[in-house]
Chain A
């Protein structure tokens, strides 16, 4: 397996081992692109306003060659940072993008990212966000995606670690045949807080959307899930589904979930469901009765709970790695990793 080196010029060199020979890595340090703008294999990279953020235009089929965008906060810029990414997939383009966000120091970083995504006719984007900072960081993502005829967006957001994480996702299904699948997994413990605000707007007829968001909250962690499916007047033959399931491990953990449907068309298939539960006592006894200790039984049940969200990640190598990361996160190993804020091992 090829090993990828993080920025040699960043003092604390570490290695990113997201596997795969075909991964192309693009670095942003404090929102600044670390390579010269230009076009390579149909992918054009440039910087956004005021030299920050990433503008990207993609043509052609890149579905087998993931693009990893590694966005790092460094000690050079402790102030709150805000930047905008604008990504566009040309008609028929296909891409797989993995976004990894890290902080290099345990500083009270506050980062706001705006991402505008446009998927032209028949474009497919598989998008994965790894939100993995430290217990005192503030992470803010505002994603706005527009899907045109027969375009498809598969988005997976994994909120693994961070002081406060806020994800605002708005998907606009503008023309018939657009398909939008949004998944999310949020794991929080201690005093961490995670907010999801999801809005899927069916502005056109004959579009499909589904949402699957799952969370596990431990200690005094808090999470909010607001999910809206909007079906515009005339958006007939819409299929839209939403599910939000939560596992609370303690009495102090809190989840507020607000699934909402707004439907102004009459030929639609829509559903939403939300659950809040605890670990299953009978299931735990069953697992323990086969010789598995309580702690491991807890872990198996939590891994079983998040299984379907991870299963939706199509890239096998990345999925296997995510499973390992989620497992070590649930074992509580992240918080023990005091000398490093990357949580990537």
Chain B
């Protein structure tokens, strides 16, 4: 065994000859070396999410020799994930993401321990899960969980290695270290729901979470090694379409509600409520924010029975080309401008991909004086699922 036997290194786990051979290219770097590789083996890193960001992050952390990798996810693999969530394969569709990820990670590196949490990270379980890890890597895809991860990291004193993506653009940083800012120093509050379209409605370039997730893995490894200049107090911006990287300065806000001098966030809160997300709407709810909801099956029946509806499609023109129901196309962003194209006397049914944008459009139309507006619940996805499978899902 080539392990060192003196100094503080004795507390670190030793490497077997097989591990030494495996990590040879790390051991040859003076910045890693034997001690650094042992630190990686001793490290416990939690990946929150095993999707777009979590896939490359967990893959590279496993390859690098992180000793204990925790995986938190409640989701199952869907075929639309495979364009970017490279840890999952076609055969895994329908399987729990953490099971699929565990299989790939252990196949890559059997000298590590995987700890699986098949759950939605919540205020009830976050601190309990975080306590067994040294670093938290945030690969989540929604605002409530981002604020939850941040606050739980601040409260438990663990660095939050952050990455986030939208279409062609990404952000990365390290939050919640003792000296550096946290996510709330940067953004004290989330945008109201519906202001920004989600990945599911807005799309994302498949390589982008690869770029950003690998940056997160890099920062995790540097934190463990104590080498280089960590991305603390800096927000790295990636624009993959123009292939430009920029960096902005971040400062710790003394008035930050989470990590400031007089914090008001002293325990975890209800993050869905904080983000303005109404409690989950029961499928089949008759009215949302004053807009009547019509199900795809009901819409089909009524239209077949001869009822006259004006079907308004508020998606983007490129989505219309993928699949459409023959509706009249006015993208959500153009509704105000093009409202004169609509007839207030007609019964209007508004639809989009999943029902979110059409709900916003229907609410806007109501405010503009349209009385007979309904939202097609579940959108064209639900139509494909329940009425006509010949309509492709995207």
A and B associate: no
- The chain A residues found within 8 Å of chain B, CB to CB, are none
